[in-house]
Structure 1
Amino acid sequence: MMGLYQGPRLLDFAKTPSHLQFNKYVLTGYRPVSTAQECLRSLFYMHNELGNIYSHGIPFFLFLVLLPFSIPWMEVDNVWICIVHYLACLSPTIGSVVYHVFMNHVGGEHVYDTLLSLDMFGVCLVNTLGAIPIIYITLLCYPTVQQTALLAYILLSAYGIYCATTARTNILRLRAFVWQGLFRFSLFLFRVYGSGVGSPNSLRLFVIMDSLAVLGGVVNIIQIPERFSPGLFDNWGNSHQIMHVMVICAIIYLHWGTLEDLAWIKSYQCPTE
Protein backbone atom coordinates (compact mmCIF):
# COMPACT_ATOMS: atom_id res chain seq x y z
CA MET A 1 0.00 0.00 0.00
CA MET A 2 2.82 2.41 0.88
CA GLY A 3 4.17 2.09 -2.66
CA LEU A 4 0.99 3.28 -4.37
CA TYR A 5 2.15 6.88 -4.30
CA GLN A 6 5.62 8.39 -4.47
CA GLY A 7 5.68 10.89 -1.66
CA PRO A 8 7.53 14.20 -1.50
CA ARG A 9 10.92 14.71 0.11
CA LEU A 10 10.38 14.54 3.85
CA LEU A 11 11.79 17.08 6.28
CA ASP A 12 13.93 16.89 9.38
CA PHE A 13 12.72 18.34 12.67
CA ALA A 14 14.62 21.62 12.27
CA LYS A 15 13.12 22.29 8.82
CA THR A 16 9.47 21.65 9.67
CA PRO A 17 7.19 24.60 10.60
CA SER A 18 7.53 25.67 14.22
CA HIS A 19 3.92 24.77 15.12
CA LEU A 20 4.70 21.15 14.18
CA GLN A 21 7.83 20.98 16.33
CA PHE A 22 6.12 19.51 19.39
CA ASN A 23 8.30 16.41 19.83
CA LYS A 24 12.02 17.15 19.60
CA TYR A 25 12.82 13.43 19.91
CA VAL A 26 11.17 12.64 16.56
CA LEU A 27 13.94 13.76 14.23
CA THR A 28 12.86 12.84 10.70
CA GLY A 29 9.91 11.95 8.48
CA TYR A 30 7.99 15.23 8.58
CA ARG A 31 5.70 15.98 5.63
CA PRO A 32 6.20 19.35 3.92
CA VAL A 33 3.45 21.96 3.97
CA SER A 34 0.74 20.53 1.69
CA THR A 35 -2.62 21.19 0.09
CA ALA A 36 -5.66 19.22 1.23
CA GLN A 37 -5.26 16.85 -1.73
CA GLU A 38 -1.58 16.31 -0.94
CA CYS A 39 -2.45 15.65 2.69
CA LEU A 40 -4.84 12.90 1.56
CA ARG A 41 -2.15 11.42 -0.67
CA SER A 42 0.04 11.06 2.41
CA LEU A 43 -2.16 8.11 3.37
CA PHE A 44 -0.19 6.09 0.83
CA TYR A 45 3.47 6.74 1.62
CA MET A 46 5.65 6.45 4.70
CA HIS A 47 6.09 9.42 7.06
CA ASN A 48 6.10 9.96 10.80
CA GLU A 49 2.34 10.61 11.09
CA LEU A 50 1.24 7.49 9.21
CA GLY A 51 1.14 5.34 12.35
CA ASN A 52 -0.94 7.96 14.14
CA ILE A 53 -3.41 8.08 11.24
CA TYR A 54 -3.92 4.34 10.90
CA SER A 55 -3.82 3.51 14.61
CA HIS A 56 -7.07 5.47 14.94
CA GLY A 57 -8.36 5.27 11.37
CA ILE A 58 -8.64 1.48 11.24
CA PRO A 59 -10.37 1.24 14.66
CA PHE A 60 -12.79 4.00 13.62
CA PHE A 61 -14.06 1.97 10.67
CA LEU A 62 -14.14 -1.23 12.73
CA PHE A 63 -16.14 0.47 15.48
CA LEU A 64 -18.42 2.12 12.94
CA VAL A 65 -19.32 -1.20 11.31
CA LEU A 66 -19.03 -3.77 14.10
CA LEU A 67 -20.20 -2.07 17.31
CA PRO A 68 -23.87 -1.75 16.25
CA PHE A 69 -24.07 -5.55 16.04
CA SER A 70 -23.04 -5.93 19.69
CA ILE A 71 -25.28 -3.21 21.15
CA PRO A 72 -28.67 -4.52 22.40
CA TRP A 73 -30.77 -1.81 20.76
CA MET A 74 -34.11 -3.62 21.04
CA GLU A 75 -33.56 -4.92 24.55
CA VAL A 76 -33.12 -1.57 26.29
CA ASP A 77 -36.08 0.58 27.31
CA ASN A 78 -34.17 3.80 26.73
CA VAL A 79 -32.53 3.39 23.34
CA TRP A 80 -30.91 6.82 23.69
CA ILE A 81 -28.40 5.21 26.05
CA CYS A 82 -27.23 2.97 23.21
CA ILE A 83 -27.00 5.90 20.80
CA VAL A 84 -24.96 7.96 23.26
CA HIS A 85 -22.63 5.05 23.91
CA TYR A 86 -22.11 4.37 20.18
CA LEU A 87 -21.26 8.04 19.52
CA ALA A 88 -18.89 8.01 22.49
CA CYS A 89 -16.92 5.11 21.04
CA LEU A 90 -16.59 6.83 17.65
CA SER A 91 -15.87 10.38 18.74
CA PRO A 92 -12.16 10.34 19.67
CA THR A 93 -11.04 8.41 16.59
CA ILE A 94 -12.58 10.51 13.84
CA GLY A 95 -11.29 13.82 15.21
CA SER A 96 -7.85 12.32 15.67
CA VAL A 97 -7.69 11.03 12.09
CA VAL A 98 -8.71 14.38 10.60
CA TYR A 99 -6.13 16.17 12.77
CA HIS A 100 -3.24 13.89 11.87
CA VAL A 101 -4.06 13.79 8.14
CA PHE A 102 -4.32 17.56 7.67
CA MET A 103 -2.03 18.95 10.39
CA ASN A 104 0.58 20.07 7.80
CA HIS A 105 -1.99 21.94 5.68
CA VAL A 106 -0.91 25.10 3.85
CA GLY A 107 -3.28 27.07 6.08
CA GLY A 108 -0.51 27.01 8.65
CA GLU A 109 -0.81 27.45 12.38
CA HIS A 110 -4.40 28.71 12.27
CA VAL A 111 -5.62 25.55 10.52
CA TYR A 112 -3.43 23.42 12.79
CA ASP A 113 -4.94 24.96 15.94
CA THR A 114 -8.45 24.40 14.58
CA LEU A 115 -7.69 20.75 13.84
CA LEU A 116 -6.12 20.27 17.27
CA SER A 117 -9.25 21.72 18.88
CA LEU A 118 -11.33 19.24 16.86
CA ASP A 119 -9.12 16.40 18.08
CA MET A 120 -9.47 17.55 21.70
CA PHE A 121 -13.23 17.95 21.24
CA GLY A 122 -13.45 14.28 20.24
CA VAL A 123 -11.54 13.25 23.35
CA CYS A 124 -13.87 15.38 25.48
CA LEU A 125 -16.89 13.77 23.85
CA VAL A 126 -15.81 10.24 24.74
CA ASN A 127 -15.35 11.40 28.33
CA THR A 128 -18.74 13.12 28.33
CA LEU A 129 -20.91 10.73 26.33
CA GLY A 130 -19.15 7.63 27.65
CA ALA A 131 -19.96 8.57 31.25
CA ILE A 132 -23.66 9.35 30.69
CA PRO A 133 -24.78 5.66 30.71
CA ILE A 134 -22.60 5.09 33.80
CA ILE A 135 -24.28 7.98 35.62
CA TYR A 136 -27.74 6.91 34.47
CA ILE A 137 -27.36 3.33 35.67
CA THR A 138 -25.41 4.04 38.87
CA LEU A 139 -28.15 6.42 40.07
CA LEU A 140 -31.01 4.42 38.56
CA CYS A 141 -32.86 4.19 41.87
CA TYR A 142 -32.57 7.93 42.58
CA PRO A 143 -34.27 9.69 39.63
CA THR A 144 -33.96 13.22 41.04
CA VAL A 145 -30.30 12.78 41.93
CA GLN A 146 -29.76 11.07 38.58
CA GLN A 147 -31.07 14.04 36.61
CA THR A 148 -29.08 16.51 38.72
CA ALA A 149 -25.88 14.48 38.30
CA LEU A 150 -26.37 14.23 34.53
CA LEU A 151 -26.85 17.99 34.26
CA ALA A 152 -23.86 18.69 36.51
CA TYR A 153 -21.66 16.36 34.49
CA ILE A 154 -22.70 17.95 31.20
CA LEU A 155 -21.90 21.43 32.57
CA LEU A 156 -18.59 20.17 33.95
CA SER A 157 -17.82 18.61 30.60
CA ALA A 158 -18.58 21.87 28.80
CA TYR A 159 -15.95 23.54 30.98
CA GLY A 160 -13.55 20.68 30.24
CA ILE A 161 -14.16 21.07 26.49
CA TYR A 162 -13.35 24.78 26.73
CA CYS A 163 -10.16 24.12 28.69
CA ALA A 164 -9.00 21.27 26.45
CA THR A 165 -9.64 23.10 23.17
CA THR A 166 -7.89 26.30 24.31
CA ALA A 167 -4.95 24.74 26.19
CA ARG A 168 -1.50 25.24 24.68
CA THR A 169 0.37 22.30 26.20
CA ASN A 170 -0.25 18.56 26.67
CA ILE A 171 -0.10 18.96 30.46
CA LEU A 172 -2.86 21.59 30.44
CA ARG A 173 -4.93 19.42 28.10
CA LEU A 174 -4.59 16.44 30.43
CA ARG A 175 -5.58 18.62 33.39
CA ALA A 176 -8.76 19.59 31.54
CA PHE A 177 -10.00 16.01 31.99
CA VAL A 178 -9.18 15.74 35.71
CA TRP A 179 -12.58 16.91 36.99
CA GLN A 180 -14.42 14.55 34.68
CA GLY A 181 -12.22 11.72 35.92
CA LEU A 182 -12.86 12.60 39.57
CA PHE A 183 -16.61 12.74 38.89
CA ARG A 184 -16.55 9.24 37.42
CA PHE A 185 -14.39 8.01 40.30
CA SER A 186 -16.98 9.31 42.77
CA LEU A 187 -19.58 7.23 40.92
CA PHE A 188 -17.38 4.16 41.22
CA LEU A 189 -17.06 4.77 44.97
CA PHE A 190 -20.83 5.18 45.23
CA ARG A 191 -21.27 1.78 43.59
CA VAL A 192 -18.85 0.17 46.04
CA TYR A 193 -19.62 1.96 49.29
CA GLY A 194 -22.99 3.63 48.71
CA SER A 195 -26.31 2.70 47.22
CA GLY A 196 -25.28 3.00 43.58
CA VAL A 197 -26.24 0.13 41.32
CA GLY A 198 -24.87 -1.54 38.21
CA SER A 199 -23.49 -4.82 37.00
CA PRO A 200 -21.05 -6.45 39.44
CA ASN A 201 -18.75 -7.08 36.48
CA SER A 202 -18.74 -3.61 34.91
CA LEU A 203 -16.93 -1.62 37.59
CA ARG A 204 -13.63 -3.44 37.06
CA LEU A 205 -13.88 -2.79 33.31
CA PHE A 206 -14.52 0.93 33.84
CA VAL A 207 -11.56 1.25 36.21
CA ILE A 208 -9.30 -0.43 33.64
CA MET A 209 -10.71 1.96 31.01
CA ASP A 210 -9.78 5.06 32.99
CA SER A 211 -6.40 3.63 33.99
CA LEU A 212 -5.47 3.01 30.35
CA ALA A 213 -6.59 6.50 29.34
CA VAL A 214 -4.56 8.17 32.10
CA LEU A 215 -1.49 6.03 31.41
CA GLY A 216 -1.70 6.86 27.70
CA GLY A 217 -1.86 10.57 28.47
CA VAL A 218 1.16 10.36 30.77
CA VAL A 219 3.19 8.40 28.19
CA ASN A 220 2.39 11.08 25.61
CA ILE A 221 3.46 13.88 27.94
CA ILE A 222 6.79 12.36 28.99
CA GLN A 223 7.48 11.18 25.40
CA ILE A 224 8.80 7.70 25.99
CA PRO A 225 10.39 5.66 24.48
CA GLU A 226 11.72 8.18 21.92
CA ARG A 227 13.14 10.35 24.72
CA PHE A 228 15.73 7.63 25.40
CA SER A 229 16.65 7.03 21.76
CA PRO A 230 15.87 10.07 19.56
CA GLY A 231 15.31 9.13 15.93
CA LEU A 232 14.77 5.41 16.51
CA PHE A 233 10.98 5.70 16.91
CA ASP A 234 10.32 8.40 14.32
CA ASN A 235 7.89 6.34 12.24
CA TRP A 236 6.76 3.54 14.55
CA GLY A 237 6.48 2.92 18.28
CA ASN A 238 6.69 6.48 19.59
CA SER A 239 4.74 7.82 22.57
CA HIS A 240 1.85 9.29 20.60
CA GLN A 241 1.22 6.00 18.83
CA ILE A 242 1.38 4.16 22.15
CA MET A 243 -1.20 6.60 23.52
CA HIS A 244 -3.40 5.93 20.49
CA VAL A 245 -3.33 2.20 21.14
CA MET A 246 -4.14 2.75 24.83
CA VAL A 247 -7.06 5.00 23.88
CA ILE A 248 -8.47 2.28 21.62
CA CYS A 249 -8.08 -0.28 24.40
CA ALA A 250 -9.82 2.12 26.81
CA ILE A 251 -12.74 2.46 24.37
CA ILE A 252 -13.02 -1.32 24.14
CA TYR A 253 -13.17 -1.59 27.94
CA LEU A 254 -15.79 1.19 28.00
CA HIS A 255 -17.82 -0.80 25.50
CA TRP A 256 -17.50 -4.04 27.46
CA GLY A 257 -18.44 -2.32 30.72
CA THR A 258 -21.45 -0.60 29.18
CA LEU A 259 -22.65 -3.87 27.64
CA GLU A 260 -22.42 -5.50 31.08
CA ASP A 261 -24.57 -2.71 32.55
CA LEU A 262 -27.09 -2.84 29.71
CA ALA A 263 -27.47 -6.60 30.14
CA TRP A 264 -27.81 -6.20 33.91
CA ILE A 265 -30.42 -3.43 33.78
CA LYS A 266 -32.90 -5.64 31.87
CA SER A 267 -33.65 -7.74 34.94
CA TYR A 268 -33.00 -5.25 37.79
CA GLN A 269 -35.79 -3.66 39.79
CA CYS A 270 -35.09 -0.90 42.28
CA PRO A 271 -36.17 -1.79 45.82
CA THR A 272 -39.48 -0.28 46.92
CA GLU A 273 -39.49 1.81 50.04
Structure 2
Amino acid sequence: MAFLAGPRLLDWASSPPHLQFNKFVLTGYRPASSGSGCLRSLFYLHNELGNIYTHGLALLGFLVLVPMTMPWGQLGKDGWLGGTHCVACLAPPAGSVLYHLFMCHQGGSPVYARLLALDMCGVCLVNTLGALPIIHCTLACRPWLRPAALVGYTVLSGVAGWRALTAPSTSARLRAFSWQAAARLLLHAGVVPDLLWAAHHACPVD
Protein backbone atom coordinates (compact mmCIF):
# COMPACT_ATOMS: atom_id res chain seq x y z
CA MET A 1 0.00 0.00 0.00
CA ALA A 2 3.04 2.26 0.29
CA PHE A 3 2.70 3.90 -3.11
CA LEU A 4 4.32 7.15 -1.99
CA ALA A 5 7.23 7.86 0.29
CA GLY A 6 5.71 9.22 3.46
CA PRO A 7 7.18 11.54 6.08
CA ARG A 8 9.22 10.25 8.97
CA LEU A 9 6.82 8.64 11.42
CA LEU A 10 6.87 9.35 15.14
CA ASP A 11 6.98 7.12 18.18
CA TRP A 12 4.44 7.37 20.99
CA ALA A 13 6.48 9.79 23.10
CA SER A 14 7.02 12.15 20.15
CA SER A 15 3.42 12.18 18.97
CA PRO A 16 1.07 15.06 19.85
CA PRO A 17 -0.35 14.76 23.39
CA HIS A 18 -3.95 14.44 22.19
CA LEU A 19 -2.98 11.35 20.19
CA GLN A 20 -1.27 9.61 23.11
CA PHE A 21 -4.37 7.71 24.19
CA ASN A 22 -3.01 4.20 23.55
CA LYS A 23 0.39 3.58 25.09
CA PHE A 24 0.52 0.11 23.56
CA VAL A 25 0.84 1.56 20.04
CA LEU A 26 4.52 2.39 20.23
CA THR A 27 5.27 3.82 16.79
CA GLY A 28 3.87 4.65 13.35
CA TYR A 29 2.31 8.01 14.26
CA ARG A 30 1.97 10.55 11.47
CA PRO A 31 3.40 14.01 12.10
CA ALA A 32 1.06 17.01 12.16
CA SER A 33 -0.11 17.50 8.58
CA SER A 34 -2.22 19.79 6.43
CA GLY A 35 -5.47 18.58 4.95
CA SER A 36 -3.72 17.51 1.76
CA GLY A 37 -1.03 15.83 3.85
CA CYS A 38 -3.69 13.82 5.65
CA LEU A 39 -5.14 12.72 2.31
CA ARG A 40 -1.66 11.79 1.11
CA SER A 41 -1.36 9.44 4.08
CA LEU A 42 -3.77 7.13 2.27
CA PHE A 43 -0.78 5.95 0.25
CA TYR A 44 1.92 5.15 2.80
CA LEU A 45 2.09 2.88 5.82
CA HIS A 46 1.30 4.23 9.29
CA ASN A 47 -0.56 3.05 12.36
CA GLU A 48 -3.99 4.35 11.26
CA LEU A 49 -3.94 2.98 7.72
CA GLY A 50 -5.78 -0.22 8.65
CA ASN A 51 -8.53 1.72 10.42
CA ILE A 52 -8.97 4.04 7.45
CA TYR A 53 -9.19 1.30 4.84
CA THR A 54 -11.33 -1.15 6.80
CA HIS A 55 -13.91 1.55 7.53
CA GLY A 56 -13.58 2.94 4.02
CA LEU A 57 -14.20 -0.41 2.35
CA ALA A 58 -17.22 -0.95 4.59
CA LEU A 59 -18.53 2.47 3.59
CA LEU A 60 -18.14 1.69 -0.11
CA GLY A 61 -19.82 -1.67 0.37
CA PHE A 62 -22.78 -0.10 2.14
CA LEU A 63 -23.06 2.62 -0.51
CA VAL A 64 -23.47 -0.05 -3.19
CA LEU A 65 -25.28 -2.88 -1.45
CA VAL A 66 -27.73 -1.22 0.94
CA PRO A 67 -29.68 0.87 -1.63
CA MET A 68 -29.47 -1.96 -4.15
CA THR A 69 -30.91 -4.60 -1.82
CA MET A 70 -33.56 -2.41 -0.17
CA PRO A 71 -37.09 -3.55 -1.17
CA TRP A 72 -38.19 -0.02 -2.04
CA GLY A 73 -41.24 -1.19 -3.98
CA GLN A 74 -42.62 -3.06 -0.98
CA LEU A 75 -42.25 -0.17 1.45
CA GLY A 76 -44.91 2.01 -0.15
CA LYS A 77 -45.83 4.95 2.07
CA ASP A 78 -43.26 3.74 4.58
CA GLY A 79 -40.41 4.45 2.19
CA TRP A 80 -38.81 6.65 4.85
CA LEU A 81 -37.88 3.41 6.64
CA GLY A 82 -35.50 2.58 3.81
CA GLY A 83 -33.98 6.05 3.89
CA THR A 84 -33.34 5.99 7.63
CA HIS A 85 -31.87 2.51 7.34
CA CYS A 86 -29.46 3.67 4.62
CA VAL A 87 -28.31 6.68 6.65
CA ALA A 88 -27.92 4.50 9.75
CA CYS A 89 -25.67 2.10 7.82
CA LEU A 90 -23.55 4.83 6.21
CA ALA A 91 -23.06 7.23 9.14
CA PRO A 92 -20.71 5.17 11.37
CA PRO A 93 -18.13 4.18 8.72
CA ALA A 94 -18.23 7.67 7.17
CA GLY A 95 -17.55 9.32 10.53
CA SER A 96 -14.80 6.83 11.33
CA VAL A 97 -13.03 7.33 8.00
CA LEU A 98 -12.91 11.09 8.52
CA TYR A 99 -11.81 10.70 12.14
CA HIS A 100 -8.94 8.29 11.46
CA LEU A 101 -7.82 10.05 8.28
CA PHE A 102 -7.63 13.59 9.64
CA MET A 103 -6.80 12.97 13.31
CA CYS A 104 -3.19 14.08 12.67
CA HIS A 105 -4.30 17.43 11.24
CA GLN A 106 -2.05 20.35 12.11
CA GLY A 107 -5.00 22.09 13.74
CA GLY A 108 -4.17 20.04 16.81
CA SER A 109 -6.45 19.24 19.71
CA PRO A 110 -9.40 21.47 18.67
CA VAL A 111 -9.64 19.78 15.26
CA TYR A 112 -9.22 16.38 16.86
CA ALA A 113 -12.08 17.10 19.28
CA ARG A 114 -14.37 17.98 16.36
CA LEU A 115 -13.39 14.82 14.51
CA LEU A 116 -14.06 12.72 17.60
CA ALA A 117 -17.46 14.38 17.95
CA LEU A 118 -18.17 13.60 14.28
CA ASP A 119 -17.23 9.97 14.86
CA MET A 120 -19.55 9.87 17.86
CA CYS A 121 -22.33 11.38 15.77
CA GLY A 122 -22.09 8.36 13.49
CA VAL A 123 -22.59 6.09 16.49
CA CYS A 124 -25.51 8.22 17.66
CA LEU A 125 -27.16 8.06 14.25
CA VAL A 126 -26.93 4.29 13.96
CA ASN A 127 -28.41 3.93 17.45
CA THR A 128 -31.19 6.38 16.62
CA LEU A 129 -32.10 5.98 12.96
CA GLY A 130 -31.24 2.29 12.98
CA ALA A 131 -33.82 1.69 15.70
CA LEU A 132 -36.71 3.60 14.11
CA PRO A 133 -37.56 0.92 11.50
CA ILE A 134 -37.34 -1.71 14.25
CA ILE A 135 -39.72 0.25 16.48
CA HIS A 136 -42.07 0.84 13.55
CA CYS A 137 -42.22 -2.87 12.74
CA THR A 138 -42.39 -3.93 16.37
CA LEU A 139 -45.60 -1.95 16.82
CA ALA A 140 -47.31 -3.57 13.83
CA CYS A 141 -50.23 -4.59 16.04
CA ARG A 142 -50.45 -1.19 17.71
CA PRO A 143 -50.15 1.34 14.89
CA TRP A 144 -51.78 4.04 17.00
CA LEU A 145 -48.77 3.89 19.34
CA ARG A 146 -46.17 4.29 16.59
CA PRO A 147 -46.03 8.12 16.37
CA ALA A 148 -45.57 8.57 20.11
CA ALA A 149 -42.97 5.80 20.30
CA LEU A 150 -40.98 7.11 17.32
CA VAL A 151 -41.02 10.74 18.49
CA GLY A 152 -40.27 9.76 22.08
CA TYR A 153 -37.33 7.58 21.09
CA THR A 154 -35.98 10.30 18.79
CA VAL A 155 -36.10 12.89 21.58
CA LEU A 156 -34.51 10.46 24.02
CA SER A 157 -31.81 9.71 21.47
CA GLY A 158 -31.11 13.41 21.07
CA VAL A 159 -30.54 13.72 24.80
CA ALA A 160 -28.36 10.61 24.83
CA GLY A 161 -26.38 11.87 21.84
CA TRP A 162 -25.73 15.23 23.47
CA ARG A 163 -24.60 13.53 26.67
CA ALA A 164 -22.27 11.29 24.65
CA LEU A 165 -20.77 14.21 22.73
CA THR A 166 -20.12 16.20 25.90
CA ALA A 167 -19.02 13.25 28.05
CA PRO A 168 -15.65 13.71 29.78
CA SER A 169 -14.60 10.06 29.45
CA THR A 170 -15.16 6.90 27.45
CA SER A 171 -17.13 5.27 30.25
CA ALA A 172 -19.41 8.31 30.44
CA ARG A 173 -20.06 8.04 26.69
CA LEU A 174 -21.07 4.41 27.08
CA ARG A 175 -23.38 5.28 29.97
CA ALA A 176 -25.05 7.93 27.81
CA PHE A 177 -26.20 5.27 25.35
CA SER A 178 -27.67 3.17 28.16
CA TRP A 179 -30.75 5.42 27.93
CA GLN A 180 -31.43 4.16 24.44
CA ALA A 181 -30.77 0.55 25.39
CA ALA A 182 -33.19 0.76 28.32
CA ALA A 183 -35.90 2.37 26.18
CA ARG A 184 -35.64 -0.30 23.50
CA LEU A 185 -35.61 -3.08 26.08
CA LEU A 186 -38.75 -1.76 27.75
CA LEU A 187 -40.49 -1.26 24.42
CA HIS A 188 -39.68 -4.73 23.14
CA ALA A 189 -40.55 -6.35 26.46
CA GLY A 190 -43.95 -4.68 26.30
CA VAL A 191 -44.79 -5.86 22.80
CA VAL A 192 -43.36 -9.39 22.78
CA PRO A 193 -46.74 -10.79 23.93
CA ASP A 194 -48.32 -8.93 21.00
CA LEU A 195 -45.87 -10.50 18.58
CA LEU A 196 -46.55 -13.97 19.96
CA TRP A 197 -50.28 -13.35 19.60
CA ALA A 198 -49.79 -12.00 16.07
CA ALA A 199 -48.07 -15.22 15.05
CA HIS A 200 -51.48 -16.90 15.23
CA HIS A 201 -53.82 -14.00 14.45
CA ALA A 202 -54.13 -11.15 11.99
CA CYS A 203 -52.99 -7.73 13.14
CA PRO A 204 -55.34 -4.80 12.52
CA VAL A 205 -54.92 -3.11 9.16
CA ASP A 206 -52.63 -0.07 9.36
TM-score w.r.t. structure 1 length?
0.70
1:65-214 matched pairs, under 5 angstroms: 65-77=64-76, 78-192=78-192, 194-196=193-195
- Cα offset for 1:126? 0.3
TM-score w.r.t. structure 2 length?
0.92
How far apart are the structure 2 equivalents of 1:269 and 1:35? 61
Give the superposed CA RMSD.
Answer: 2.0
The ranges of structure 1 where at least 4 consecutive aligned residues each deviate by more than 3 angstroms after the TM superposition are none
* Higher Cα Rg, which structure: 2
How far apart are the structure 2 equivalents of 1:70 and 1:177? 29
| 1:61 corresponding residue in structure 2 | 60
Secondary structure at the aligned position of 2:27 is classed as: coil
State the AA in 1 paired with 2:107: G
State the AA in 1 paired with 2:49: L
| 1:253 corresponding residue in structure 2 | none
1:190–1:196: 8 Å Cα contact kept in structure 2?
no
> RCO (CA 8 Å, sep 6+): is it higher in 1 or 2?
1
2:139–2:191: 8 Å Cα contact kept in structure 1?
no
How far apart are the structure 1 equivalents of 2:2 and 2:101? 18
Distance 1:196 1:155, change over 3 A: farther
Q: How many pairs does the alignment contain?
A: 203
Query: Mind listing any 5+ residue stretches in structure 1 that lack a counterpart?
Result: 201-267
1:34–1:106: 8 Å Cα contact kept in structure 2?
yes
- Cα offset for 1:196? 4.3
State the AA in 1 paired with 2:103: M
How far apart are the structure 2 equivalents of 1:19 and 1:3? 26
How far apart are the structure 2 equivalents of 1:25 and 1:3? 23
Query: Mind listing any 5+ residue stretches in structure 2 that lack a counterpart?
Result: none
- Cα offset for 1:195? 1.5
1:187–1:196: 8 Å Cα contact kept in structure 2?
no
State the AA in 2 paired with 1:11: L
Report whether the alignment pairs 1:25 with 2:20: no
